[in-house]
Amino acid sequence: MMKIMSEGVIDIASNIRVVQSVMAEALTARTMDTHAATPTLVAVSKTKSVLMIKRAYDAGQRHFGENYVKELLVKAKDVDLAKLCPDIKWHFIGHLQKNKISQLVNCPRLHMVETISSYEVADSFQKKIKGENSLDVMIQVNTSSEESKSGIMSDDCADFAKHIIEKCPKLKLRGLMTIGKPGHDYSTGPNPDFVCLTKCRSSVSEHVNIPLHELELSMGMSADFREAIIAGSTVIRVGSTIFGARDKTITK
């Protein structure tokens, strides 16, 4: 079992191996109709130190996720981290405020923004990205229809995808993501949020003529990434299982 006490005693490399082992086991439990590749593991490093990120990188981890623009920029612009981890890939996975978009598009080594949650956000990115540059993005879908969550409602997902492709050429649509409602009881059946996102992908694929296998599904976190992989997830976002409990002091 992972011991969560302090940065000095958390064996990040061992934790990553455990996650990878669970990922491999989950892949064997998939059905043949998930249209999903081996998932990308995004290590969610919010509130975690540069030292901890370096330890994960040394263990072979390359994709890291951050929830807050300010914190992401501090880490992405850290001179030592950039030198020691030259091919690090940053995913932005948090709620986006419009006034932060101009900062985010200039983030070094930004690999993907997974939380394009509205037409306004998509259009703002299109305006802020300079020259011939482009950005890989995912549509955030509010699969649980909770008022407290950001994201496009599932019924609007296909039309939103069409808008991105036709009106926002600097955004490269790579897939869909959901946060979902926590605490699903899997003894009652599959997670409805995962089922919903999978259906959204099929709808988008048909609506904009993108093959299913070219659309990623970002779903599943520390508590349920195994079940998400079985359901067809191609990107999982795992934080506490790798780095330990999150520090409550957050830099937004």
User: Is 42 in contact with 63 (CB distance < 8 Å)?
Assistant: yes
- Specify the pLDDT at position 234: 96
Say if residue 75's pLDDT is above 60.
yes
pLDDT in tens, 214-226: 999 999 999 999 9
- Specify the pLDDT at position 62: 98
Could you tell me which residues come within 8 angstroms of residue 182 by beta carbon, excluding any fewer than 6 positions away?
Answer: 223
C-alpha to C-alpha distance for 2 and 20, rounded to whole angstroms:
14
Structure letter (DSSP) for residue 129: S
- Specify the pLDDT at position 248: 60
pLDDT in tens, 116-167: 999 999 999 999 999 999 999 999 999 999 888 899 999 999 999 999 999 9
pTM above 0.85, yes or no: yes
Say if residue 2's pLDDT is above 50.
no
b/e sequence 45-77, b meaning 16+ C-beta within 10 Å? bbbbeeebbbbbbebebebbbbbbbebbbebbe
pLDDT in tens, 36-68: 678 999 999 999 999 999 999 999 999 999 999
- Specify the pLDDT at position 26: 95
Mean of all residue pLDDT scores within the chain = 92
The two tokens of residue 110 are 């930004």
- Specify the pLDDT at position 246: 73
What amino acid is encoded at 5 in this protein?
Answer: M
What percent of the chain lies above the pLDDT cut of 90?
A: 85
Confidence of residue 5 (pLDDT cuts 50, 70, 90): very low
- Specify the pLDDT at position 1: 33
Bridge partners of 216, per DSSP, are: 175
- Specify the pLDDT at position 252: 53
What percent of the chain lies above the pLDDT cut of 70?
A: 93
C-alpha to C-alpha distance for 113 and 110, rounded to whole angstroms:
8
Say if residue 208's pLDDT is above 80.
yes
Phi, psi of 43 (to 5 degrees): -85, 115
Structure letter (DSSP) for residue 194: H
- Specify the pLDDT at position 8: 56
When pLDDT is averaged across residues 181-204 and rounded to a whole number, the result is 95
Torsional class of 35: left (φ above 0), alpha (ψ -120 to 50), beta (otherwise) = left
Bridge partners of 113, per DSSP, are: 92, 137
Look at residue 18 and give its three-state secondary structure: helix
Say if residue 12's pLDDT is above 90.
yes
- Specify the pLDDT at position 180: 85
- List domains and CATH numbers for the chain: 12-243 (3.20.20.10)
